[in-house]
Amino acid sequence: MPIISIEQLSFTYPDGTRALDSITLHIDRNETIGIAGPNGAGKTTLINHLCGYTLPQSGKISLMGTSLTKETVDIIRKKIGVVFQNTDDQLFMPSVVDDVAFGVRSSGLSAREAHESAIKKLQELGLDHLAKKPPFHLSQGQKRFVAFAGILAMQPQVIIMDEPTADLDPRHRRTTMELIRSLSDTTRLIVSHDLDFLWETCGRIVLINEGAIAADGPAHDVLADESLLRENGLELPLQLQGKNNRNPPV
């Protein structure tokens, strides 16, 4: 059974914008999937449905056989972790350890148990030296990893990452890539315009445009198809552009 099943999902905003048009998608356990597409393609709307922020107008979403409804949304949200593009929307407690512990408390742990769990996760990620610092004193890269720590401490079965390399320097980008690769026992969905990052981290790419799936296949097949990418408002990953440039500038 796929861990996530989406059947004929459609969604139209009040202004008449058709954001999703009969999306059908099945995601297996422990897959790493990149979701790519131009601005306005419907990626964010799809993710909002998977997180339970938006309920289906038509069609169906299920997580391990549990359909997403008003009655089940809280259950499903506990199984899915989201790392937002803007980490300032995610980090709001007085200290890093408090932020990481915040989500863990929702699982029923006591304050002491949640604190211990948070410290352990920070240690695993090499962030324990930041435990007492206020999140707003951190660099963008540090904020990103603290946000990851908070999600991983909750032990979700699915992790959704929205533009995980946004505003990261090359070193933190590489560390983020290594972290995502290490999560082999978790289903990972990465929404990103960074096609080079998706090339390096994902086994499968779902390409969305105008609310529909334009392509779904092995990452290196989809991301190497220049015609397909151009038809859908994208360009080849930079590393492939270099290989295809027969006459590089002197």
What's the pLDDT score for residue 168? 86
Confidence band (pLDDT; 50, 70, 90) for 244?
low
206 has pLDDT over 80 = yes
**What average pLDDT does the segment 22-34 reach?**
96
Q: Which fold has domain 1-79+189-239?
A: Rossmann fold (3.40.50)
Confidence band (pLDDT; 50, 70, 90) for 247?
very low
Question: How many C-beta neighbours within 10 Å does residue 161 have?
Answer: 26
Mean pLDDT for the chain? 90
What's the pLDDT score for residue 108? 74
Domain ranges within the chain, ordered by starting residue: 1-79+189-239
- β-pairing, 58-63 vs 4-12, is antiparallel
Percent of the chain with pLDDT over 90: 69
Convert the pLDDT of each residue in 159-174 to its tens digit. Answer: 999 999 988 888 889 9
Rounded CA separation 170/174 (Å): 6
Note whether 164 and 181 are within 8 A (CB): no
Percent of the chain with pLDDT over 70: 96
